Chain A
Amino acid sequence: MAYVALIPLLPALVFAVMAPLSRAMRNRVQWLGVVGVGASLLLSIAAFAAVWPGGHEGEAVYHASWPIAQVGGVDLALGILLDPVAAIMLLVVTIVGVCVQVYSLGYMHRDERVGWYFAVLTLFTAAMLALVLSDNFLMFYMAWEVMGLCSYLLIGFWHEQEAPRKASQKAFLTTRVGDVGFAIGLAVMYATVGSFDFEAVLGSADSWAPGVATAVALLLLFGAMGKSAQVPLHVWLPDAMAGPTPASALIHAATMVAAGVYLVSRALPIFEASGVALTVTMLVGALTALLGGLIAAVQHDIKKVLAYSTISQLGYMFLAIGASGAVAGMFHLVTHAFFKSLLFLGAGVIIHAAHTQDMREMGGLAKHLPVTSVTFGIGALALAGIFPFSGFWSKDEILYAAWSHGHYTIFFIALAAAFVTAFYVARLWFRVFTGPVQNEHLAEGHAEMLVPMGVLAAITTVIGFSAPFFSEFLGHDGHWPDPAIAIGSSVVALCGLALGWWAYGRRHLVLNTRSLKQRAGSGYTVLEQKFYFDITYDYLVIRPYMRATEALSRFDRDAVDGAVNKVAAVWRSAAERAWSFDGRVIDRLVNESARAARASGSALRRIQAGRVQTYQRYVLGALVLLMLWIVVKGA
């Protein structure tokens, strides 16, 4: 079973091979990414077969651990833990990963940095697989951060333009806010248990002090909210649509944003030990599901609609986990991963064909993009929750979980969100595929783009029927949908679709932006401004921060630089004084003594005339003087 470790290692190896190559070389070996993720897919299928038929919750089929470091006598380890949840996630990540990679071969083939795109995409997949397979929170956190990095690189892939650059920074910084909570949560956890292992931490969660459990759970939830774009940390995801569309499909729909949900479901025993944290999770999810859906209903950019829809659906998952329906949440995670990546890939084809992302400039694409319109329609129906497509089953389970655990308010919020979802789905589909044709030269996508979409559409169509078996695979009681709830939610979804058709699908548009604005008044403005989150952050965080940095820079310029300059000036004048002292006094002393030596030398040289007899005269004179002195003194 050691091959399980290869599942994340192979794509990581592909990245390690591609990263150091030159750009031209890397562009030539872009298929390596497909090979790496494809190999992971095959190994994941093998791993899934090994886990089959599942049915044991939290029990590892394979568990291995390699210590990498020792801190304070405690081993820090990289570990592989394969259990039913991980096996399912592996399949989801690798299937979507392969589809996106194959699709990207067609979508990105004209980009001059396509090799780097594939390298990062592969590293991202490797990190997600490592996260899914990790057996301790520390490795989980490491993989989590690598994904954050890859997300940053992919969102900012076209960094020549300003919007992707800013979006990548926003995504990185916003998720970082959540990550700080995650990191503090890990620290508290380690202080409490002295270990990061899932087994040790989750096994002892019951015995923690309730306050500690609540604190850890809420901090982990905060991290998950950042990664999974939950209100109020959701603001990065819509902007992240500035990245390449297939990357959005992989990262911002299917996998990375799912990491937050996966974290909460992994750490569920802590949440259950707390209780309060579970309620908070539910409330955050319900709020996000409704707000995301409402905002999506007024967006014009096709990718932004999908982005807000992703936020809304992730809210659904949090809601489900909070409402004690963790299995339902995980199932929605799986179905959503497939149909949302399908929708994003379809959006990619539409954007390629129409050369715009604005839905108001599209229309009548069904005639030109037959395959896309059908596959996109399947994804849209799944998102709206229409039988028999996958979204119907998972949404139904979530509603059932909320109802059966007595969360009636939450149930109706979820139902309202489902209605809004159906409405904007219909709005999206009818606006894009029906109505007047606005562009005659439209081309269907390449085969390598359409085949992955077909695969995802097929999975979306059939995977819903596995709903009861999914629960059993995870070790819970499986059941078919409750008829009353199923019929109720279907009616609501159909009403939403009908409203969307009434407004946007008929020959003449009943609602356009202007008439909607007139009818809805200030309510529309609130939606258009996305509930003022961005503006609030701008005023509360970004502007004060900028002002603070400006004040600091002024302080630096005036006070710090001023002091330095002052010291320099004083030093300089002292140096000038020393220089003039040196010139006037010391040099003069030296020069004068030299001149004196020279003068005395030229005076004395006359005595040495070279004539022996002159010297003799001196000696004679000296002798006379000496004798006189002796005579005088002696007397």
Chain B
Amino acid sequence: MMQVGPSAFLGLAAVLFTLGLYGAVARKSAVMVLMSLELMAVAVNLNMVALSRFVTPAEMTGQFFAIFTMVVSAAEIGLGLALVLAIYRQTRSIELSSIDSLKG
């Protein structure tokens, strides 16, 4: 049986984080950026769970943290989508490049 080591989990998480990072930086739509952020959060969660399982199996610290992070990111995405809706009502657009009224 093929042994699945921590590096597999960490590698997957790295791929996920990189995808999320790319999406967050490169996508135009605000909704897509939010989804990319979720992707990065998922990558982090995966890291924590994996490391907890392999490094300190007796304790469940990573799993607990992951649950916390999921709750927080759920709230965060709720807030983010509400913002996107509010911006859409104002400008009829959700393109991030057009949202620049906070420039100096």
Contacts and interface: CB of A to CB of B under 8 A. Distances in A.
A609 B100 CA distance: 7
Given A611-B96, A611-B97, A612-B96, A617 B103 contact: no
A227 to B, nearest CB: 99
Contact of B100 (A604, A606, A610): A610
B25 interface: yes
A622 interface: no
B24 interface: yes
A604 B103 CA distance: 11
A536 B104 CA distance: 99
B102 interface: yes
B14 interface: no
Nearest to A609: B103
Contacts of A606: 104
A70 interface: no
Which 4 A-B residue pairs are closest in the complex by CB-CB distance?
Answer: A610-B103, A608-B104, A610-B100, A605-B104
B24 A616 contact: yes
A486 to B, nearest CB: 130
A597 to B, nearest CB: 15
Contact of A620 (B25, B33, B99, B104): B25
B88 to A, nearest CB: 16
B3 interface: no
Contacts of B97: 611, 613
16 contacts: A606-B104, A607-B104, A609-B100, A609-B103, A609-B104, A610-B99, A610-B101, A610-B102, A610-B103, A610-B104, A611-B96, A611-B100, A611-B103, A613-B24, A616-B25, A620-B25
B57 to A, nearest CB: 28
A606 B25 CA distance: 19
Contacts of B24: 613, 616
Interface string B1-40: 0000000000000000000010011100000010000000
A606 B103 CA distance: 8
A606 to B, nearest CB: 8
Q: Which of A608, A613, A616, A617 is most buried by chain B, counting CB atoms within 10 A of its CB? A: A613
Contact of B99 (A611, A616, A617): A611
A620 B21 contact: yes
A620 B102 CA distance: 21
A620 B40 CA distance: 14
Interface string A412-423: 000000000000
Interface in B48-101: 96-97, 99-101
Nearest to A616: B25
Nearest to B26: A613
Interface string A593-635: 0000000000011111111110011001000000000000000
Contacts of A610: 99-104
Given A610-B99, A611-B100, 7 more contacts: A605-B104, A609-B103, A610-B100, A610-B102, A611-B103, A612-B33, A620-B21
Nearest to A612: B96
Contacts, number: 35
Nearest to B101: A610
Q: Which of A605, A606, A610, A617 is most buried by chain B, counting CB atoms within 10 A of its CB? A: A610
Contacts of A605: 104
A608 to B, nearest CB: 3
A420 to B, nearest CB: 118
Contacts of A611: 96-97, 99-100, 103
A547 B1 CA distance: 137
B47 to A, nearest CB: 16
A607 B104 CA distance: 8
Interface in A392-415: none
Contacts of A616: 24-25
Contacts of B25: 613, 616-617, 620
Contacts of A608: 102-104
Q: Which of A605, A609, A612 is most buried by chain B, counting CB atoms within 10 A of its CB? A: A612
Contacts of B99: 610-612
A612 B103 CA distance: 10
Contacts of A607: 104
A605 B104 CA distance: 5
A616 B36 CA distance: 13
B31 to A, nearest CB: 14
B21 to A, nearest CB: 7
Given A620-B21, A620-B25, A613 B96 contact: yes
A609 B101 CA distance: 9
Contacts of B104: 604-610
A617 B24 CA distance: 10
Contacts of A609: 100, 103-104
Nearest to B102: A610
Contacts of A617: 25
Contacts of B33: 612-613
A290 to B, nearest CB: 115
Nearest to A601: B104
Interface in A563-585: none
Nearest to B104: A608
B68 to A, nearest CB: 23
Contacts of B101: 610
B54 to A, nearest CB: 23
A612 to B, nearest CB: 6
Contacts of B21: 620
A514 to B, nearest CB: 116
B36 to A, nearest CB: 10
Contacts of B100: 609-611
Q: Which of B26, B97, B104 is most buried by chain A, counting CB atoms within 10 A of its CB? A: B104
Contacts of B102: 608, 610
A186 to B, nearest CB: 94
A53 B33 CA distance: 139
Q: Which of B26, B33, B102, B103 is most buried by chain A, counting CB atoms within 10 A of its CB? A: B103
A604 B99 CA distance: 20
A604 B100 CA distance: 16
Contacts of A613: 24-26, 33, 96-97
A604 B25 CA distance: 22
A443 B21 CA distance: 136
A617 B33 CA distance: 13
Contacts of A620: 21, 25
A338 to B, nearest CB: 113
A592 to B, nearest CB: 23
